[in-house]
Chains A and B, each alone.
Chain A
């Protein structure tokens, strides 16, 4: 058994034999504990505690609070950033959707315009073809009439020439005299 344990047992035995205060006093004396030393140690401890508190604990606590504040601020900023990021993502998604809608609208308008242009071109081509056909028909008809007129004129000319030849041979002097008499009357009546 250790000497400290033996001294403790001995002191406890002595104290049990005397009164409680006396026993405690005897115990302290037995271990060499004196009040002035304890008081000095307490003062020393308080001075050391004060110095440590002022130059060690207090700056450390301030640093820790500052760091905690920074961490809290960082967390807050992170949350705000995340919120803004989510909002930005939502906004960008909305922008993309709007862009898709606009693009689809533009594509539809372009298709519509292309279809209208194609329809217009087709209609104009049909109109031009019809006009060309009508002009060709008019030209053919005009040429046909011209040919008929030429043929009619030629036939008439031949008939007249033939008639003149026949009349030149067949008209007698009496016929001519009668014709001249009628012509004289006609011209005299002018």
Chain B
């Protein structure tokens, strides 16, 4: 069932209530979920899906997923966080995620942006 206009507006309002200092706050998210559970607004499933998408989008804007193959130096994530924070003008945290398919190198996902410097991407470029 598609969400109506009022549900979309409510989802955005709940999302704004979930931010603290411009960042998603776990406590406020818990409070919003408790309010939804208590008051049972119209179209609760559609509302929760919209709210989840907004939260996930915001988290992906603030969290960089660094996919890597092989050992990653302890200082590497810090360097990447600093570089991305400087680039996007907001505090970015980095999370490491190993993936042997890269063969060697890194791939960074942040929001809709992808930065990659890996052996598999260079080989893929050769095959085109």
Contact = CB atoms under 8 A, between A and B. Distances in A.
Contacts of B127: 153, 156-157, 159-160
A182 to B, nearest CB: 8
Contacts of B79: 184-185, 188
B103 A190 contact: no
Interface in A173-190: 173, 175-177, 179-190
Interface residues of A: mostly helix, strand, loop or mixed?
Answer: helix
Contacts of A157: 127
A181 B120 CA distance: 16
A173 B100 CA distance: 12
Interface residues of A, number: 26
A157 to B, nearest CB: 5
B17 to A, nearest CB: 34
A180 B115 contact: no
A167 interface: yes
A177 B1 CA distance: 49
Highest count of chain B CB atoms <10 Å: which of A168, A176, A177? A176
Contact of B126 (A160, A171, A182, A188): A160
Interface in B70-90: 70-73, 76, 79-80, 82-83, 87
Contacts of B76: 180-181, 184
Interface stretch (B25-33, B49-57, B104-112): B104-112
A171 B87 CA distance: 33
Interface of B: 68-73, 76, 79-80, 82-83, 87, 100, 103-106, 108, 115, 117-120, 123-124, 126-128
17 contacts: A156-B126, A157-B127, A164-B123, A167-B119, A168-B100, A171-B70, A171-B119, A177-B71, A179-B104, A179-B119, A180-B70, A180-B72, A180-B104, A183-B106, A184-B80, A187-B115, A190-B115
Interface of A: 153, 156-157, 159-160, 163-164, 167-168, 171, 173, 175-177, 179-190
Given A176-B70, A177-B71, A180-B68, 19 more contacts: A153-B127, A159-B127, A164-B103, A167-B104, A168-B103, A171-B70, A171-B104, A171-B119, A175-B70, A176-B69, A176-B103, A177-B70, A180-B69, A180-B71, A184-B76, A184-B79, A187-B117, A188-B80, A188-B83
